[in-house]
Amino acid sequence: MVERIQTIFQPMKILFTGGVKSGKSSHAEKRVLKMSRGKKPVYLATTELLDPEMKERISEHRRRRGAKFHTLEEPLHLADTLVSTEVPVLVECLTMWLNNAIHHQLSEKKIFAEIENLLLLDCDVIFVLNEVGMGIIPDNSLARKFVDLSGRIAQQLGEACDEVNLCVAGILLKIK
């Protein structure tokens, strides 16, 4: 009977997207806590500490989540970090991870392979990704590359995830 239940279990993959400071992270945190059913979920933080302003943002996120999460910090190799995880995971955030991947010159093939490997994890995963494609086309090639890759990642996740949510002005809209 236990084997049958285990084969039926399909881990959920959920995407929270929206603009900067739209409220998507706090909604994603609430959702992963609910999904964890009293167990401490994993919070995979992807942001590299590169400047004082980013240090303050990271501190704000740490204060907000407190001790409710088991925090892992990994800027590039997300799926490898999570491969043996059994509790729900919040990946915060793929936008900063993409920034890291471009900075460290990962190929597009490696970028999309990493996303695919995250989608194949055998645990519930909630992804946070900024919506960056609703503005103007950037005036430089690096920014255009970032926007294009981010949009393609959003499409990959949108197709593969069981649920997609858009956060606007703190209000959550279920898209899928």
Report, as residue numbers or ranges, the catalytic residues: 61
| Residues 6+ away with beta carbon under 8 Å from 28 | 14, 16, 90, 92, 126, 128
| Residues 6+ away with beta carbon under 8 Å from 89 | 32, 41, 42, 43, 44, 82, 121, 123, 124, 125, 126
Whole-number Å distance between alpha carbons of 89 and 46: 13
